[in-house]
Structure 1
Amino acid sequence: MKQFLRAFCYTLAFLLCSLKGITAEDWPAFRGPLGNGIAQETQVPLKWSATENILWKVRLPAPGNSSPIVSNGRVFLTCAENEGRKRSLYCFDRKDGKQLWVRTVNYEKVMPTHKTNNYCGSTPVANGKRVVAWHSSAGLYCYDFDGNEIWHRDLGEFDHMWGYGVSPVLHEGKIILHCGPGKRVFMTAIELESGKTIWETDEPVENDGQRNNSRKYMGSWSTPVIARVNDRPLAICSMSLRVNAYDPDTGKIVWSCSGLRGQKGDLAYTSPVLADQICVAMGGFNGPAIGFRMQGTGDITESARLWRKEPNPQRISTGVFTGGHIFMANAGPNIVQCINPATGDIVWQERSGGAACWGSMVLANGHLYVTDQQGTTHVFQPNPERFEQAAQNKLGERSNSTPAFSDGQIFLRTFQHLYCIGN
């Protein structure tokens, strides 16, 4: 009997461990599994420092603004060196940070970019078997998890004085990619297994795509969000002048809402935030914010737009919708805001006590996390009544990235290291 009980306990323990391995949530794309900045994690740390709750860290060869992803026991991250002549995808073992492989694309032409935007602004995407990295003008690359190249594509040259930063997303075996900014801007779907183009839909630009006809700045660095709206899947993306919803199977624009042209230019840095049936989009460089109902077809600006407000703080970090409100962290000044998506009204705003934020916000364990440019991660409650801070976690290294949350751990990129944080 004792032997039977011992064997039963071993078997039960094995099954529980196996189940944990199966159900542990990966963080396979920019802003998580659904691209909305929401994690299902309930056991992630609230507090850490450079010496507390650090499970491992690895030195990175160069600073960058892209974020880590986690898929099937691997952590992936892009890095660039030598003025963008070397653009690499790194693969690490999530258990101990050991580098498993690196694949480098050589691109001899030095493309323009802003001094704050290194040549690895795009976060990779993975599905547990394949990982895809977009190196902008240097091409789109797909690898298996052993680092073998499956295919690569040249999608054209993307020339913009501020560089690139859009990340690919996956939907039902297709890579959905917003290609730009530059003279040609388009949305495309590419077959994951073969690398073949399924569709391309061009987006009109003015002048050279860097400045509009009024010689004001122009460009979008917005990563699409895949969502089911009114019982149909849509790829929703903020372009320079408007928000478009694409049919992911055909590339047809189902609807669009205008209003992102601003007094200083036509710019979009953030991804759209979907608040139930309302979409909220933020313009860049103090530009306008708009909110509209996701209904109808064609140009829905007149019929569906609820509000438009300008000017606004500089917004690069994408916010999170939870509890009927949108929570934002701004790039200038260092202000956290709670916004009513139905009206655009600011419910409250407070200084975070840290630096400006470029990394996007994440909801996990009932708290909101956002990392500022000094490498401090601010943790606060999603309280619509007031700013309620839970922790300020300082690493003392600059960061423009969004943390990844997976299986009780947080993976955070600074300009110097990749960190794994856990209790």
Structure 2
Amino acid sequence: MNYKDFLWSVFFLVLSLPANATPWPQWRGPHGTGITSEEDLPTHWSSEKNVVWKCALPQKGNSTPIVWGDRVFLTQARGQERMLWCLNAKDGGLLWQTSTLASRPEQFHPTNTPCAASPVTDGERVVAYFGAAGLFAYDLAGNELWRVDLGDLDHQWGYAASPVLDDKHCFVHFGPGSRHFLAAFDKRTGDKLWQVDFPKVHPQVRTDGFAGKEGEIGSWSTPLLVQTKTRTELVLSLPGKLSAFDPETGKELWFCEGLNPLLYTSAMTGEGLVIGSGGYGGSTVAVAPGGDGDVTQKRLWQKLRDKQRIGSGVISGGFLYILNSPGTAQCIQLATGESVWEERLTGPRGRSESWASMVLSGDRIYVNNQAGDVFILKAAPDFQLLATNALDDGLMNASVVPAEGRLFLRTEKHLWCIGR
């Protein structure tokens, strides 16, 4: 079964969900692209208006929740505990939680948190990745199915990449740090099927914000399954290059050089292209999937020194839309990489910085900043800000989640459910 067949199997599982239920089963949604088929989503709310429920969180966190039917799944830390929560999507009540202790030393950037990765579900199991604490699979009642000890993770900024499922695999991007690899596990048993180890990169020249210095090196990108006309590819942004792997074997199918060695965004795909973008004033490349070997000379375009980016964008109508970390939203022409417009998004508290990834619903884009302001933009080659909705609830590094006609928003204090 290839990825296309897997999507059909998920489609039939979705049919078993309650009417009008549209799941958001993984980081960046059903296809990892940030696009939802739901179009009748809330457009106006506040801390008091159109709040269906909110659930208090014991500790701040950066992970984005996922939704399947009447369940919301969230990774959550509490001291040394690494937990997976299952909440009732209708009222926010806690249905069950699991807990494991972080027994190995861990390091995190002051702005990063434990449990930074989102869980993933296929409707039969839910998988949570807790860095050095391990990889865990549970059934939808919270019973543990298997666990895998992945070993030490020693990067001073911690981890963030989320696990990904297809018809038989669970893919994990482990790292960065001295141990950095991409691995596939049997999603039913946890048995390792393959692992690709990545050597440490030593760039001779840097063109990003660390130009003239050794600087930080690493990738916090989540793998992305891309379906071409003939095969499925597992695409990952890595220090120095964008790479595609065979999901069955781990063999590298193609690579496109031109990325800088520090990356936060996940690869973005749509309209026959894959785009990788670096962080800290890094580079961006666009290339068609489906190639073989070194495809660097076939890339559509490269921008050597680009914006600072942590969140990922969405592709629609010949354009890439993305919110840069300083808070400037940008529309980029897919064919050329040229900027069409760039506008700063500022909420009522005057803060613009953002880690969030965009969500596309019809022709509306939802994206938030760190202050908890969610902006709704028109996906169009002329800039249109449709609405600004503010939650006064502290820091918000997670991204917007649309599901079942509602929005789920994680701040450092609460998980919010927004309706009409």
Alignment-derived partner of residue 15 in structure 1: none
Alignment-derived partner of residue 110 in structure 1: 105
Question: Moved runs in structure 1, 4+ residues, more than 3 A?
Answer: 211-214
- 1:333-344 aligned within 5 A: 334-344=327-337
1:328 to 322, 333, 340: 322
* Separation of aligned partners in 1, 2:250 and 2:106: 29
Alignment-derived partner of residue 344 in structure 2: 351
Give how far 1:370 is off: 0.4
Higher Cα radius of gyration: 1
Alignment-derived partner of residue 300 in structure 1: 295
RMSD: 1.8
1:123 aligns with 2:157: no
- Structure 2 SS opposite 1:308: strand
Alignment-derived partner of residue 250 in structure 2: 251
The amino acid that maps onto 2:292 is T
For 1:238-274, what per-residue CA distance to the aligned partner results, in whole angstroms no more than 9, with x for missing partners? 011111111111111110111112xxxx111111111
Give how far 1:231 is off: 2.4
Preserved contact between residue 186 and residue 203 of structure 1 (Cα < 8 Å): yes
For 1:66-125, what per-residue CA distance to the aligned partner results, in whole angstroms no more than 9, with x for missing partners? 00100132101111132xx21111110111100011111101333111000011210000
* Separation of aligned partners in 2, 1:301 and 1:161: 31
- The 3 A distance-change label for structure 1 pair 189 and 372 is same
* Separation of aligned partners in 2, 1:225 and 1:369: 21
* Separation of aligned partners in 2, 1:23 and 1:233: 29
Alignment-derived partner of residue 422 in structure 1: 419
Give how far 1:212 is off: 12
1:45 aligns with 2:42: yes
- The 3 A distance-change label for structure 1 pair 212 and 131 is farther
Aligned length: 394
* Separation of aligned partners in 2, 1:280 and 1:342: 12
1:69 aligns with 2:66: yes
* Separation of aligned partners in 1, 2:126 and 2:16: 24
The amino acid that maps onto 1:171 is D
Alignment-derived partner of residue 379 in structure 2: 382
Q: Identity across aligned pairs (percent)? A: 40
* Separation of aligned partners in 2, 1:326 and 1:284: 17
Give how far 1:312 is off: 2.0
The amino acid that maps onto 2:328 is I
Q: TM-score, normalising length from structure 1?
A: 0.90
1:148 aligns with 2:143: yes
For 1:197-247, what per-residue CA distance to the aligned partner results, in whole angstroms no more than 9, with x for missing partners? 11111222237xxx9996321000001111202321111110111111111
Give how far 1:308 is off: 1.7
Give how far 1:380 is off: 0.8
The amino acid that maps onto 1:322 is S
1:98 aligns with 2:93: yes
Give how far 1:404 is off: 1.4
For 1:338-369, what per-residue CA distance to the aligned partner results, in whole angstroms no more than 9, with x for missing partners? 00122111011111123212111001143100
* Separation of aligned partners in 2, 1:315 and 1:49: 27
The amino acid that maps onto 2:230 is D
1:89 aligns with 2:94: no
Give how far 1:180 is off: 1.1
Alignment-derived partner of residue 172 in structure 1: 167
2:389 to 344, 369, 393: 393
Q: Structure 1, unaligned stretches of length 5 or more?
A: 1-17
Give how far 1:411 is off: 0.9
The amino acid that maps onto 1:341 is L
The amino acid that maps onto 2:151 is G
* Separation of aligned partners in 2, 1:229 and 1:98: 41
